[in-house]
Structure 1
Amino acid sequence: MADGISCFLLTRQWRDVGDDLQLVFWAASDRGPVRVVVDDQKAVCFVGRDVADADIGVFGGAPTRRPLDLRTLDGAPVDGLYFRRQRDLADTRDALRGRGITLYESDIKPNDRYLMERFVHGAFAVEGEPLQRDRYLEIRNPRLRRDTYRAAMRRIALDVESDGLSGRLYSIAVHGDGLATVFIVSDTPVHVDDARVVVCADEGALLETFFRWLRDWDPDLILG
């Protein structure tokens, strides 16, 4: 696809899959939900050039070390450390911290670094081969670039009424553009003037009915 699909970022995550690092981004587009999957990424941080390889050791998977034309705020040169898994980076960082050795930018998540390097903070265009999945498009290992797309997103506000955090569930109310619905547990019919009321026999029926409605309505944003 030469022009790609214009998207607006909704969620981002990373996960270690076996010995590899995978990034997943969900986005809204004029073609519906888009899931972007990026495989075989590296977890990246930086270490002072004066730190010997022997001092770094191998506390997780062994990183690849590369000299870079970068410096700390104090002007000290640094090298890049590239790990196959984010877990290995975290294990190495924690072990070296106890020995007084700093790994710079080790707190930046790999999914955030991926977006930052492409100057993406909201809208982006994705170029790749889209695969039609169940109710969404999936594009694996595409090219991403910054874009100015403004998504027309479906939004709902959610309010849950219950008896504390561990007590009974009474109702779930949703409100959005042209939408006002209340799912409620009741033995008798309930009527209100400004909302549609869905009466459910018990908590299980309420949750099942609500999640079925949520899947069909398929909002991009849930506020609450």
Structure 2
Amino acid sequence: MRLVNVQDYSLVEVDGPGSNQYAILSHTWNGTGEVTLDDMRDLAAAQAKCEWPKVQQTCALARSQGIPFVWIDTCCIDKSSSAELTEAINSMFEWYKKAKTCYAYLSDLAESPTGGPESDRGRQQLHADLGACRWFTRGWTLQELIAPREVEFYDKSWTMRGTKAFLQSDVASITNINESVLSDSDKLSIIPVACKMSWAAKRHTTRVEDIA
């Protein structure tokens, strides 16, 4: 598996999620515009992709927080290798859990009128806006929400709108996920299977088998 060096966008081979400090991106894909592993091996090709700013912003955030590497699924997994793809799918929860922080980029979340984390006055509108975001309807983002200890939510302009801890009651209301699980993914072990399946029931995935 690989990480992206936030200084020069080079790829670094790693043994697994516990070997380096890194931040991780959670996002919804934009069809063929995503930056792939092959693109990252030729930066000119990567920078020509319409979703390159997503890679740039993720690396810039990590740099500003003193984090040397980032993990982005589209850039770091060799999807042409069935063995690597299977390994990545099976270890995805651990990659998110062991990240220093997770940046959840909500590309359809309107820009903040205040330009920063929400005050109590704007909380009701933010709750409604978050609930309408595609990120909360996708299958893969369920584990990407639960696994990391820290999640930072960013709107379409890459303004941070709040953290999972700050917005915990809102996120719980939107997803029906227990607040105890949102604050500590280890609590998943005591949650009934039927309850966990209910969290995924209304989420959509690209392929039917991904629901499982």
TM superposition score category, shorter chain reference? under 0.3
TM-score (norm 2): 0.20
TM-score (norm 1): 0.19
- Which structure has more helix as a fraction of its residues? 2
Larger radius of gyration: 1
- Which structure has more strand as a fraction of its residues? 1
